[in-house]
Structure 1
Amino acid sequence: MLTLTLSVVSLLLTACHARTGHGLVGYGIEMYQPLCASTCRTVLSPCTLDCSTEMEMDMSHHDMSSMDPMFETAPECYATDDIFLQSMAYCISTKCADVPDWKIEKYWKENIAGSEDVQPDPKWTYSQALENIKEKPTETVMSGDTLNKTMLISEDDWLPNWNAQGAFEHQEGLHAKYSIVILVTCFVIPIALSTLRFIPFPGWLVTCINAWIIDPPLWGKKYREPLARGLGLVPTRGQFLFLTYILLINIVLSAVRFESHQPNAWYPDDVRSEIMILLANRVGVISFANIPLLILYSSRNNILLWVTDWSHSTFLLLHRWVAGVATVQAVIHSIIYLINRVEMGTHSEESKLPYWIWGVVATLAMSILLPTSVLYIRQKMYELFLAWHAALSILTIVGCYYHILFRFKHQWGYETWIWTAMAVWGFDRVMRMLRMARNGLRTAVVTKIDEDYVRVDVVGVAATGHAYLYFPSLTWRVWENHPFSVASTTSPQTGGPQSRPLKDNGSGPSEKTGVEVSSGPASSGGSTRNPAKLGLTFFLRRQGGLTQQLCSRTTLPVLVESSYGAHAETAELPHLVCIVGGIGITAVMPYLRAHPGSCKLYWGVRSEGIVHAIDDELLSTIDKEVFVGGRMNIREVLTDEIAFAGRGGVTIVVSGPSSMADETRFVVSEIGRCKKANIRLIDEAFSW
């Protein structure tokens, strides 16, 4: 058992001084090539040479009375020992007959002395060592014995090491190949699917596909409303199709093409351990490959957001699922190695080594991240969630990097995945800072509308979609930021009346009082307009936390990170219908202003203040029906509007409470399945 322990420690010490590789195994990095030459060295290098030195080791916990001393051989010794060089040359000449001489000479110069970054060149070239063999060797040396003359190697040593090294390198190449396949396909498939929108399919066919395959929830009627008291959300059928691909490709490529090669020097007569370690390595590498992918999916500056028509909410959903897959893979990797080392009897020594400790740190950080990122926690403790999510994510990256650094240094390229993850994360952070720097430090003017809503104006900044606002003077957590939809990119200076009476909409007895404000373009009389100023307008609902703190201030410094989330194009269909609830109006206002065809707004609110604040300045010319304190009949509204649009088609934009959005999605899908219509649904949701 002590000999096995010393072998493991020796392997770790060798790895920590290994030569730096560039790329991945099979893609720029070769582990044991030429395999025949590498096997010769693997068999001969443990032999004791004349220049080997006795190892100094702490044997206080072992009974050494019956054990031979252990020897170690320095690179200088390998490079200058005549017997070792001649035995190596003869072995290579007999085992590598089909390998070109130039490749052997290259291997000889780089690897005879060892595999360190800085080491001496051998005193002879391969051809010189071969020429210095005076007599053909006849005696055989066993690996680990004393090498005091030019000798043959035993076939019993050769074949197991050939199998072990060859099979291992082949598997490591597969690990890298499959990891690349997962990363590339999960990047390319969203782009490929998004290009389908440029193919001029018939509108009714697109509507039918969306209604059956893309838009509806996987089951039931809930998509944005949480399930099981906030544990999660049901994906749409379209999202589920891609999630299924992600799960299947990870499961399949983690489980295929494992082969046992016996006799095996690393796992003699132990097929189970051989296959299990290969599996552990496979899921470990693929878990690493998933890390840059999950960071990409979560990024605000995700290149896929720029080249596809997929929403940020969809990519955040993918981020959570890929993170779950990577975590499960990391746990499997750790459990298999734990069991293996316990069975080998080396766990007590190996678990104290830095590489093992950092691997445990990374696995634990990922395992804690998973349950503490459920929807309920994200919604109830958003600021705290952001803090620990960032801290544990950084700890995961650091743990993964040092796990590789202390085990292999930079020899086999495993750290390439971590560098890629850091690059993706760094790109996102740099882009965030550039977006903020472009706008500079501004002043936010806060206006209380009523007990439910506040208005925030930031002069001198232009943006579209939504922006992230930082209020550094509002809290000591200066890094905190929140996304808000941009209601307007100009601040019109309007005089005249700021409110007007609303008329009863005549809702039925089963509904609360409904109120309609204008059903057509408003008159331009009654107000005086001054030149507009460049600036951003945001409307916020008071919900405690940040918005509650804002209400206590009238002006405060603000950093604006923008712009994000360009609005979808609606010009392809002539009619636009917006179903809006409460503060969701801010997300649809750009659609209403930009659409070249007919528009109709249906807006349900709890109080009149937000209606006057927005309508007087920003929606005065929009055809709309506003319901104050009431609930619109979404099915009736959509049925009428789709019938009105006829064959021309209609785009339906929904922005509001989860129940409203889910009902709209359900009704649109139901109508799309039943009628040969041209309908497009846009859900302006923003989720974490």
Structure 2
Amino acid sequence: MSNALRAVALSFHSEPLPESLQLMITCVSEVNRYSWLWSSDSGGAFYGKACGEYAPSTQTALQCFVTYGAEGSLKQKLEPFAKYCSLFARSQLTLEDYAVALENGTRFLQDGASVGHGQPLATPIAMPERTMLANLNYFHYIYYNFSAAFNFSLLINLAVAAAVLAAAAAKHSRANDKLTRLVRAKLLVPSVFGTAHHGETRSLPFYRVLLPTRGEAVLLAAFLALNLALACYNYPLVSTDLDTKAMFLLKCVANRTGGLSFGLIPLTVLLAGRNNTLQWLTGMPFSSMVFFHKWAARVMGFHALAHALLWFVYGIYGQPDPVASMFYDFAYWRWGIYAALACAALLLHAAHFIKARWYEIFLVLHVTLAFVFLVACLKHCAEFGWLGWIYLALGLWGSDRVLRLWRLFFRFGGYTHAYAHVISADDHIYKIVIPHVDLARFRFFPGCYAFLHVQSRRWFWQSHPFTLMRAGEGLEILLKAKKGMTRDLLRALPRDGAKLPLRLALEGPYGHEAPLQAYSNVLLVTSGAGIPGPMSYLQKLTLAPGHVRHFAFVWAVPAEDLLESMRDSLLAAADHVRAAAPTTHFEMRIHVTRPRRGAQRPAWVPAEFVISYGRPDVHNIVRRFCDAADGPIAVVSCANPALDDLVRRYVSEQIARSAHRVDYYDELQVW
């Protein structure tokens, strides 16, 4: 078992080089730099001259190895030399043969300082001490950076694990002291700038981005700082005849950044997965996981491209062979270039404006390029180690795909019959109804979402996430058409509201349920087609309020058509409110933002719902609700991006000023 664990551990980095092997490489390298009165029949193998093919060069290597090796008897000093010669040069010489060669050579040693590298030699020499110590340092730090890359990769991943555990603990915390309120209100909950989070921000005239929350920005800043510090830490400059200081530094940085990039690949894959352990532990929305996936990928890509570019520069200026010959002669060089090109393509095509405009094309390219990148990494390091990181990443990717299929075909039951119909043609809103679902097996919960798969030659390979709403024995999805599949599906629907049969499957449920029953005061804010999640919470809390004593529901609806589509759910909620315990106060408001001319309150709307015409004053709604609260407060928002960001801003203000704990649950998913 211990051997198996050791083998697994070693697969995550290069085989550690013992000091004796570093000394062997140093001595052999220096021997090979001299000219000898002898030509090799073996094609000039690296270890040949040092391991017995020519006596003076072998005696020189032996003298070097014994002089600068570890303390011990002559036999103890020569044992590693004999082992390496047998292993690398297939030498048949014994330990006694090397001892005799050393003794004979000692009598004819010349001072290496007086011998030029171009002068043909027929006698052994003693290496200049200054040169040897410099070269030993050179090889020590070259190989040190492989070890440093592995150790620092572990440190980065452990730091991420610590952040996850801290976030998991914070998820269950109900602390509300002054410092906690200040940190949450100023550093964690608000958008990083103003109200820009879910709404796109134009950073350049042609480039739009999604900005993080301040909590996400703080974690990202710490992650970037740690990576930068570990990539730049401890590079002693060594000057030798082997390389200039600049070339030596370049090689060290290249080795370290290559290892750091491999160490981030599993984290990058894990953050992209739908079945994400980190999301389950922290309670963060999937949009946050996608944000961190992007940045883990960017940092990994920066390390990888730095590694590739620096080695390319070294290939041009630091070694005699042309770079083109390296490409044709060495598979690791060839596959390294392929991996670097795939990595660069992944980073460039993942720009937000490309993904937002051509999502389906982006997704196919992204998965294809990621697979090419991982295969190229496997080939690139086939001889060097480090493959444990790639195997781990492939394992995470494969397990996520298996779990997705399990959710699709076992949890949901595979493809089934459904239908779709238009709700509001002007607002591009329509509904998909799945009449019969095994809800016990599917395990629906309020706020959950699933990825929709439509059985069609055109759309079979696509899947898009939508929040679900329970309707009797089935499920409903409310969609607002944008681009791609949702727009094409809307175009296929009859405009008169007639039903279009579909065959579809749901991959889910995903997400988390906000623990609203544990709060005394709950405010739900939603708009338009974002109603399914909040409506599911409304249905549950009207049936089982738990600790809730004050409940407010605010829905900004663009037109009466959408209001009409929710008639059954609203009527059922009103019935439950009337039957609820008198200790819970329910306040339910609907704001019709674009009413028809002369519009009047629909007769069917229950008296429990107050209808207003015009946009809701979100600032006033949040402030008044928190001021009236007499205990812990939960605010849930699933609205359009602009409204959702406003709610976040105003809740952040209330976190700082309210005497009670205020928690914000953002149900909107944008990435």
Give the distance between the partners of 2:501 and 2:94, measured in 1 at CA.
78
Aligned to 2:602: none
Shift of 1:655: 0.3
Matching of residue 547 in structure 1 with residue 547 in structure 2? no
Give the drift of 1:432. Answer: 1.7
| Change in 2 beyond 3 A, CA 1:212/1:52 | same
**Secondary structure of 1:479's partner?**
coil
- Identify the residue that residue 52 of structure 1 maps to in structure 2: 40
Which residue of structure 2 aligns with residue 570 of structure 1? 516
Q: Which residue of the partner structure matches residue 560 of structure 1?
A: 506
Matched, 1:304 2:243: no
What's the offset of the Cα at 1:178? Answer: 1.7
Q: Aligned equivalents of 1:536 and 1:308: distance in 2?
A: 27
- Indicate if the aligned counterparts of 2:28 and 2:50 stay in contact, CA closer than 8 A: no
For 1:589, what is the secondary structure of its paired residue? helix
Instruction: Find the counterpart in structure 2 of residue 631 from structure 1.
Output: 615
> Aligned pair 1:468/2:451, yes or no?
yes
Deviation, structure 1 residue 191: 1.9
- Alignment CA distance shift 1:105-1:427 (3 Å): farther
- Find out whether 1:685 has 2:624 as its counterpart: no
Determine helix, strand or coil for the equivalent of 2:152.
Answer: helix
SS across alignment from 1:459: coil
The aligned residue for residue 212 of structure 1 is 186
Question: Partners in 2 of 1:150 and 1:230 — Cα distance?
Answer: 67
Q: Which residue of 2 aligns with 1:666?
A: 649
1:370-415 deviation line (CA, Å, top 9, x unaligned): 343222222221111111122222232233333334xxx2x3x233
- Equivalent residue runs for 1:181-220 within 5 Å: 181-202=155-176, 206-220=180-194
Paired residue for 2:229?
252
Question: Which runs of no fewer than 5 residues in structure 1 stay unpaired?
Answer: 1-18, 56-70, 493-532
1:447 aligns with 2:420: yes
C-alpha contact (below 8 Å) 1:449/1:609 kept by paired residues:
no
Contact 2:78 2:99 in 1 (8 A): no
Structure 2 vs 1, CA of residues 80 and 234 (structure 1 numbering), >3 Å: closer, same or farther? same
Q: CA RMSD in A?
A: 3.5
What is the deviation of 1:220?
1.8
Q: Is the alpha carbon distance of 1:591 and 1:29 closer, same or farther for their aligned partners in structure 2, counting shifts above 3 Å?
A: farther
The Cα offsets for residues 195-232 of structure 1, whole Å up to 9 and x where unpaired, read as: 13444523676444322221111222221111106621
The answer to whether the 8 A contact 1:443-1:555 is kept is no
- Equivalent residues of 1:204, 1:677 under 8 A apart: no
Say which of 376, 384, 389 aligns to 2:366.
389
TM alignment of 1:599-618, pairs within 5 A:
599-617=551-569
Residues in 1 aligned to 2:200 and 2:435: alpha-carbon distance in whole angstroms: 34
Please say if residues 176 and 660 of structure 2, whose CA atoms lie closer than 8 Å, have aligned partners that are also in contact.
Answer: no
Matches within 5 A, 1:474-553: 474-475=457-458, 478-488=460-470, 491-492=471-472, 533=473, 535-550=474-489, 552=492
For 1:112, the aligned partner's letter is: C
8 Å contact 2:418–2:501 — kept in the other structure? yes
Q: Which of 415, 425, 431 matches 2:403? A: 431
Give the aligned residue type for 1:295.
V
Taking every aligned residue pair, what percent have the same amino acid on both sides? 22
What is the Cα deviation at residue 111 of structure 1?
A: 2.3
In structure 2, the CA distance between the partners of 1:311 and 1:194, relative to structure 1 (3 Å rule), is same
- The structure-2 alpha-carbon separation of the partners of 1:444 and 1:632, relative to structure 1 and needing over 3 Å to count, comes to farther
Deviation (angstroms), 1:192: 2.0
Q: For 1:454, what is the secondary structure of its paired residue?
A: strand
1:84: Cα distance to partner?
7.3
8 Å contact kept, 2:78–2:98: no
1:328 pairs, out of 299, 302, 310, with: 302
- For this pair of structures, how many residues does the alignment match? 597
Alignment-derived partner of residue 393 in structure 2: 421
Q: Which amino acid aligns with 2:648?
A: R
Alignment CA distance shift 1:174-1:99 (3 Å): farther
Query: 1 CA distance for matches of 2:67 and 2:159?
Result: 44
Among residues 128, 137, 153, which one is paired with 2:106 in the alignment?
A: 137
Of structures 1 and 2, the one with the larger relative CO (CA 8 A, separation 6+) is 1
Counterparts in 2 of 1:541 and 1:356: CA distance versus 1, 3 Å = same
Residues 52 and 74 in structure 1, CA contact (< 8 A), matched pair in contact too: no
Query: With structure 2 as the length reference, what TM-score do the two structures score?
Result: 0.79
Question: 1:686 offset after TM fit, Å?
Answer: 0.8
Partners of 1:449 and 1:664 in 2: CA distance: 29
Q: Are 2:272 and 2:290, in contact at CA under 8 Å, matched by a contact in 1? A: yes
Shift of 1:125: 4.8
**1:194 and 1:110 mapped to 2: Cα distance?**
52
Structure 2 residue runs of 5 or longer lacking an equivalent are 1-6, 494-499, 578-585, 595-613
| Structure 1 position 30 matched with structure 2 position 17 | yes
Q: Secondary structure at the match of 1:266?
A: coil
Match of 1:349?
325
Amino acid at match of 2:84: N
Cα distance in structure 2, aligned partners of 1:298 and 1:99: 54
Q: Kindly tell me: are residues 316 and 448 of structure 1, through their superposed partners in 2, closer, same or farther at Cα, counting changes over 3 Å?
A: same
Shift of the 88–207 alpha-carbon distance from structure 1 to 2, 3 Å rule, reads same
Choose 286-295 or 138-147, whichever is displaced more.
Answer: 138-147
**Alpha-carbon distance in structure 2 between the residues aligned to 1:31 and 1:483:** 52
CA distance in 1, matches of 2:108, 2:169: 69
